[in-house]
Structure 1
Amino acid sequence: MTSVFSTLRDSFSPLRFPNFRIYLSGQAVSLIGTWLQVTAQAWLVWTLTGSEEASGIVAMLGALPFLIFGPFAGVIAERYDRRKLLIGTQIAAMLLAFALAILVQTQLVQLWHVYLLSFLLGTVNALDVPTQQTFLGDLSGTSELRKAVNLNAMILQVSRIIGPAIAGLAVARLGIAPAFWVNGLSFLAVVASLVALKSNQKLGENKKAQPLRDLMEALRYLKTQPRIQDLFIFSTLTVLLVISILLSQLPAVADKLLHGNAETLGTLQAASGAGALIAVLFIMPIFQSLRRSGVALSLAAVWMGIWLLVFSTARSIPVSAMALFFGSMGAPTVIATALGMVQFMTPPEMRARILSLFTMISFGLQTFAVLIIGFVAERLGIATAIEINAIILIGSAVLMFVFRTEMRRWEMARPTNSPAVVTELI
C-alpha cells in the first residue's frame, strides 16, 4: 500500500518546475472553455439537423486536417520556437470561437458555418497538438516527460467533467451562444501563461527546414520500431472506435435513446470525463509501472469494448452514465500511455516529427471513423453502431495479443539517441 501511495505522489513531481505549473494552470482554464464549446457545438448541430451523419461530418472536418497537415506539423514544431507557435495557435482558436459565438448570437448560424469553422479549428489543432506535446518535454525534461504527459491528461479530464456539466446547464437555461463566448475568453488564460514562461527548447543550428526530407527520415525511423508501431495501433483503435463515439454520437444517444436534452448530453460527457479522471489519477501511474505494458494495453482495450456493449444496451441515464464512466477509464490510459512511451522511446531530435505522425495516424483516421459510424447509425440505429464498434475493438485487442507476440514481452528503457531504446524481457 505504501508503494502505491508513493507511486501516486511521485506522479506529481513535474509540478516542482515553475514553468510547468504556470503552463498547466493556463491550460486548466482554457480546456474548461474548450469542453464548454464541444458540448454546445454538438447540441447546436443536433438542433439544426437531428442527424447522426451531420454530427459525424462535423467531427470528420475537425479531424481531416490532422491527415492533411499532420506530417509537416512536427517539422514546423522542431524548427521554430514552440512557445511562440502555441501563442499563435491559441489566438487563432480564440478568434474562431468568437466567430461562432457571433453567428449563434445573431441567429445567422447555418450548418455550413459550423462545417467551415470545424475544419479551420482542426487545421489549428493539427499544428497545436504535436507542438504542445513536445513543449511538455521542454518544460519538464525527458526524465519527467511521461509524468508531465499524464498531468496534462489529468487537466484535460478534469475539464471534461466541469466543462460539459456547466455547458449542459447553461445551454438549457441561457442558450448556446454564451458557451462560445466563454470559450473564446478562456484562451486568454493559456496565452497569458505562455507569455509569462520561458521554455528550455534548443533550436537546431540549421534553421532551414526541408519538410519532405525530414518527414521521410521520421518514416524510416518508425519503420524500424515495431514497439512504437504497436503503440500507434492501440491509440488508433481507441480513437477510431471509442473517441469517435464520444465526439460525434452522444447527442443522438441523449435524444433518441434516453429522450433527454442538453443537460442529458452534459451529464453523459461529464460522466465520461469523471471516469477518465479517475483513470489518470489512480490507474495510469500504476498501469505505466507495469513491466508488460503490451498486455496491459490489450486488457484496457477489451475493458473499453465491454463497457461500450453495456452503453449500447442502456436506456436510462444512470446506466448510460455508469457505462461511460467505467468505459472512459480505458481511453486516456491507452492514449496517454502511448503518447508518453512514444516520446520516451524517441530521440529528442526526432520527437516532434514522430508525434506529428502519431497524431496524423491516430486522429487523422478519425476522419473516416466518424463518417462511418454516422452512416451506420443513420441507417441501423445508434445502438447498433456502438455495438459494432465494441465488437471490433474487443476482437482487435484479442488479435493483437495473440499474434503480436513481441508486444507481450517488452519494457521501457532509458531514452537514448539510438533507435534501440527498448529492451525485451527474457
Structure 2
Amino acid sequence: MDSPIRELLRSPDFLRLWLVGAFANAMRWLELLASGLFAWEATHSAFAVTVVVALRQVPQLLFGAFAGALSEALNRKLIFMLALVVPALISTLQATLAATGHLEVWHVAVANLVSGTMWSTEMSTRRRMVGEVAGPHRIVTAIALDSVTSAATRAIGPLLGGIAFQWLGMKGAYTITALVQFAGAFAIAGLVHAQVTRRLDFVRIPHEIAEGLRFAWTRPTILLVFGITIVTNAFAFAYSGLVAPLGQGAFQVSPALVGLLAAGEPLGALIGGALIAAGFLRMDRRLAFAGGAALFMAALILMALSPFYWLAFALLVLGGFGTAGFGNMQSTLMLTEAPPEMRSRLMGVVTMCIGTAPLGQLAAGAISDAIGPRGAVIAMAVTGLVLTALMVAAVRRRPPTPPPP
C-alpha cells in the first residue's frame, strides 16, 4: 500500500501546484533579502531596510480578506497565474533598471508593494487548491508537505538571494526571479482545476467577510489561529526585516552569510515539518500551533543575545522547529474547522493576520535605530511571548465547539 505522500505525488495537478508554489515562493524570498541588502548598502539605515521589506508584505494586511472573498467568486487558477505573471513583469523591469544603472531604493520599494499585492492571494488560492486537489482524506498530509516545502523555500530563497546579490548584483537577482515566475505561469496553464464559482458582487464582499468573522467568533480554535498568527507575524517574524542589519552590522559577515542567517529558521522548519509530514511527530494540533510559536520567540531572544554568528544561526534553526508546528497547523486547523463555503474567506482573514508582519517590521526598525537590532529583536519577542500566553489562557476558558460536519 502506497504512502499518502506517494499518492499525492502521483497526481499531476497536485504536482504542478506544489512545484510551482515552491519555486515561486523561493523567488519571493530571494527578492525580499536582495531588496533588503540593496537598501542597507544604499542607506545604512535599519528603518529604511524594514520599510522596503515591509512593503512586500503589507498588501497581505490590506487585501488578504478581499482576496479571499474574491477567490470564492473568480477562477482561482486564473488568479494564481496572474500572481506569477505580474511579479515576473515587475522583476523584468527591475533587472532592466539595474542593468542600466538607474535602479534606486524607491524603485525597489514600489516593486515590492506591487508584487506583494499579488502575493496576498497565495493563501486563499494556491494553498486552498492544494487542499482541494488532495481531497478530504489526504488534506493533512498535503498541507504538511506543502508547509515543509514552504519552509524549504524560505531557507533556499534568502540563501540564493545573498549569493545572487554578492555575485550577480540586483540585475542578476531579478533576472532569475523573472524567468522562474514566467516558467511557473506556463506550467500552471496546463492545470485542470474544477471550481464552483458564483456571481461576483463587490457590494456583498464586506458582508461575506463579516459573515465569516461571525462564524469564527463561535470557534475558539479559529480565534486562536487568528490571534497567534497576528502576534507571531507582528512580534516574531519582524526579525526578518533586521536580518541585513544583524548580519552586516552586529555580526559583520558577508552578504552570503547574511543569506545563510536568514535561512536558519526556515531550515529548522523544514526539518521539523518533514518529521510531522512523515508522522514521526504527533501532538495536539492546538498545542503544536501555540507551543511552536512560543518556542520560536524564545529562540529569537537567545539568538539576539548570542555573541557569535554561528551560535545565532544554530538558535534560529532551533526556532524553526517551533515554526514547523506553527506553520503546519495554521492551515490545517483552518481547513478542518471551517466549512467548505467559508474556507477561502477565512483563509483570506488568515492572510490579513499574516499581513501584520510589516507593522512589526517597521516597529522593529524604529526600535533598532534607537537601541540596535539586538535590542529590537529582544523587545519584540518578549512582548510576543507575553501576548501568546494571554491568548492561550483566554481561549482555554471558552468551551470547545465541535467542527462543522
Calculate the TM-score normalised by the size of structure 1: 0.88
Determine the structure 2 residue equivalent to 1:391. 382
Over 3 Å counting, the alpha-carbon distance change for 1:398 and 1:45 in structure 2 is same
1:173 aligns with 2:164: no
Match of 1:159 in 2: 153
Q: Quote the offset at 1:336 in angstroms.
A: 2.9
| Amino acid in the other structure paired with 2:105 | L
Structure 2 letter corresponding to 1:47: E
Aligned partner of 1:203 in structure 2 is: 197
Between the aligned partners of 1:56 and 1:108, the Cα distance in structure 2 is 22
Counterparts of residues 3-402 of structure 1 (less than 5 Å) = 10=4, 13-204=7-198, 206=199, 208=201, 210-246=204-240, 248-283=241-276, 286=279, 289-290=282-283, 292-360=284-352, 362-402=353-393
- SS at 1:211 equivalent: helix
The answer to whether the Cα contact below 8 Å between 2:4 and 2:138 also exists between their aligned partners in 1 is no
Asked if structure 1 preserves the Cα contact closer than 8 Å seen for 2:285 and 2:333, the reply is: no
SS at match of 1:394: helix
Query: For the residues of structure 2 that align with 1:208 and 1:309, how far apart are their CA atoms?
Result: 47
Q: CA 1:216 to 1:270, structure 2 compared with 1: closer, same or farther past 3 Å? A: closer
Where 1:197 maps in the other structure, the secondary structure is coil
SS, match of residue 175 in structure 1 = helix
Which deviates further from its counterpart, 112-121 or 351-360?
Answer: 112-121
Could you say if the C-alpha distance between residues 214 and 123 of structure 1 is closer, same or farther in structure 2, counting changes exceeding 3 Å? same
Deviating more after overlay: 346-355 vs 157-166:
157-166
Q: Against the structure 1 CA distance between its residues 191 and 220, is the aligned structure 2 distance closer, same or farther, given a 3 Å change threshold?
A: same
Q: How many residues align?
A: 404
User: Is contact 1:168-1:265 (8 Å) kept?
Assistant: yes
Question: Structure 1 residue 91: deviation in Å?
Answer: 0.4
Q: Which amino acid aligns with 1:77?
A: S
From the superposition, tell whether residues 322 and 20 of structure 1 become closer, same or farther in structure 2 (CA, over 3 Å).
Answer: same
Cα distance between partner residues in 2 of 1:12 and 1:48: 47
Separation of aligned partners in 1, 2:326 and 2:41? 33
Q: CA 1:162 to 1:69, structure 2 compared with 1: closer, same or farther past 3 Å?
A: closer
Deviation track 1:82-131 (CA, whole Å, cap 9, x = no partner) reads: 11111111101111111221222222122211221111112112234322
Query: Are positions 1:404 and 2:401 aligned together?
Result: no
Mapped partners of 1:161, 1:371: distance in 2:
23
Deviations 1:17-67 (A, max 9, x none): 221012222233333333322221121111111111111212332233223
Return closer, same or farther for 1:250/1:132 CA change in 2, 3 Å cut-off: same
Which moves more between the two structures, 166-175 or 76-85?
Answer: 166-175
Aligned 8 A contact 2:219 2:400 in 1: no
The CA deviation at 1:286 is 4.9
Distance 2:263 2:358 in 1: 24
Could you say if the C-alpha distance between residues 35 and 368 of structure 1 is closer, same or farther in structure 2, counting changes exceeding 3 Å?
Answer: closer
Which sections of structure 1, spanning at least 5 residues, go unmatched?
1-5, 417-426
Shift of 1:271: 2.1
1:218-256 deviation digits (Å, cap 9, x = unpaired): 22212222220011112222211222212x110000011
Following the alignment from structure 1 to structure 2, what is the Cα–Cα distance between the partners of residues 117 and 148? 32
In structure 2, do the counterparts of structure 1 residues 112 and 207 end up closer, same or farther at CA, with 3 Å as the change threshold? closer
Give the TM-score, by structure 2 length: 0.92
C-alpha distance in structure 1 between counterparts of 2:142 and 2:201, whole Å = 30
| Counterpart residue identity of residue 253, structure 1 | L
1:270-316 Cα offsets, whole Å, 9 max, x none, are: 222211111210146659842x3333333223311221111101232
5+ residue gaps, structure 2: none
Q: Distance in 2 between matches of 1:25 and 1:294?
A: 28
> Which range moves more in the overlay, 221-230 or 28-37?
28-37
% identical equivalent positions:
22
Assess if the C-alpha contact under 8 Å between 1:19 and 1:139 holds in 2.
Answer: yes
Equivalent pair of 2:224/2:392 in contact (CA under 8 Å): no
Contact 1:238 1:334 in 2 (8 A): no
Q: Let me know the Cα RMSD of the aligned residues.
A: 2.4
For 1:88 and 1:99, how far apart are their aligned partners in 2? 17
Counterpart Cα distance in 1 of 2:28 and 2:65: 25
Amino acid at match of 1:324: L
Residues 268 and 316 in structure 2, CA contact (< 8 A), matched pair in contact too: yes
